[in-house]
Amino acid sequence: MLEMRLDPKKGIVVEEEESLERLGNDFFGDPEGKGIVLTPEEAIYIIAFRNGVVLDQNGKELSINRLSSHFLKDNPRLFIRYIAYRDWRDRGLIIRRMNENVQGKHEKKNYKKYPSQKIKYAKVKSSAYWHSESLFSIIDDDSEGRKLFEDYWFGQYGVYKQERGRIHKMNFFETLFLSKNCGMVVIDAKTGKKTTHAKIMKEIMAKREYAKELYEVYEEWRMKGYVVKTGFKFGSHFRIYFPGASPVKSDKWIHSKHVLHVFPKDQKLLISEWSRAVRVAHGVKKTFILAIPKMKKNDYVDYPGDFMAYRRTKGNGVWVRETPKDKPRYMLVAVSEDDHIGGVDLASMLKKSKDTGLILLLSITDRETSITYYELKKILLPDSKYEYYEIEWFKP
């Protein structure tokens, strides 16, 4: 039996010699004096899986609930943290409370660089008719509509994935972009009069939440040569094609490999809803990109990580687990499916992980205590004004 003791000043301590040796060999606790001090997560794990007991000052055994009650005031999310801790430990891996003074091993590896190319779009010579109630526009000129679709993949000419029909329809992002950047004249279909980019934007903003942020992200990727189309089928705002993609340059239909979701900094989403969009993308083998627009220096908050996590490394032909003698790999943040997460929260987590040389892992526990992990890495899009991140399902 592993014996632990609750000290009102120090916390949960281990001083009994045999217990010290067994726990120290498996990297539990931090040294203090002649013993070690454990976190509540460690103590609960030892009680549940290592035949441990915690005694109070009178030598009476404490239940898990009585023990946790001493820490819930300062650590109200104790059991969300514990479940993440337990899952990592159950995999035979080491996990420790976050220590910002410990530098991780990924100072230069927690980002991905995306290609970018300058592109010049031809001036649009024909007018588009704006249908404000439906938030799309139509070009009557058959040759101009076909050119926009085939050369730059703006709008949809004819029927999707079918070579029939002559109507060229553009969504509101494409209409705004071409009117602003390519001189396209836009006519209000109801009045027959010219309208402006600003007026169209105002109409869209009255109907579509975060329309301005969505458009600005759309415009940035388009200006860097990417093709940006709707991501509706995949539970996201956009699907992304790398520069050079065209709907008519191949015998086979081109499939996007990336979807992009815009997460405004002041928006908060239920974790289960956020995770659902990521899962849909991964289910169709697409990389999920998250955009957090308009983050400013004073928007970031000091969002603490929960744990530093270690993995395994290959040495002399065999896999061995890393220990605190090695540099940690991940900053692990524990959340539950019923939590809400905001754009500022995520951006702040990512900044903290970057500053400490760690890769960010979100550990999401469901109501049955099963864990799903997501790894987040920053995207370097040259000369970008915004924050972009890849999110991938992760298995320890």
- Encode pLDDT of 6-31 as tens digits: 998 899 999 999 999 999 889 999 99
Tell me what pLDDT residue 380 has. Answer: 85
Tell me what pLDDT residue 216 has. Answer: 94
CB count in 10 Å sphere of residue 73:
7
Q: Which domains does the chain have, with CATH numbers?
A: 2-75 (3.40.1170.20), 120-223 (3.40.1170.20)
Tell me what pLDDT residue 107 has. Answer: 58
Tell me what pLDDT residue 155 has. Answer: 92
What DSSP letter does each residue of 65-115 carry, written as one string? HHHHHTTTTT-TTHHHHHHHHHHHHHTT--EEE--TTS--S-TTTSEEEPP
Residues tagged active-site: 241, 255, 286
Tell me what pLDDT residue 378 has. Answer: 85
Q: CA dist 96 to 119, 306, 323, 382, Å?
A: 48, 9, 10, 36
Q: How is residue 296 annotated by DSSP?
A: -
Low-confidence ranges of the chain (pLDDT < 50): 252
> Rounded to two decimals, what is the model's pTM?
0.86
Tell me what pLDDT residue 252 has. Answer: 47
d(CA 151, CA 119): 12
End-to-end, the C-alpha distance of the chain in Å comes to 30
Per the structure block, which two tokens stand in for 171?
A: 């969504």
Tell me what pLDDT residue 5 has. Answer: 95
For 37-50, write each residue's pLDDT tens digit: 999 999 999 999 99
d(CA 282, CA 375): 13
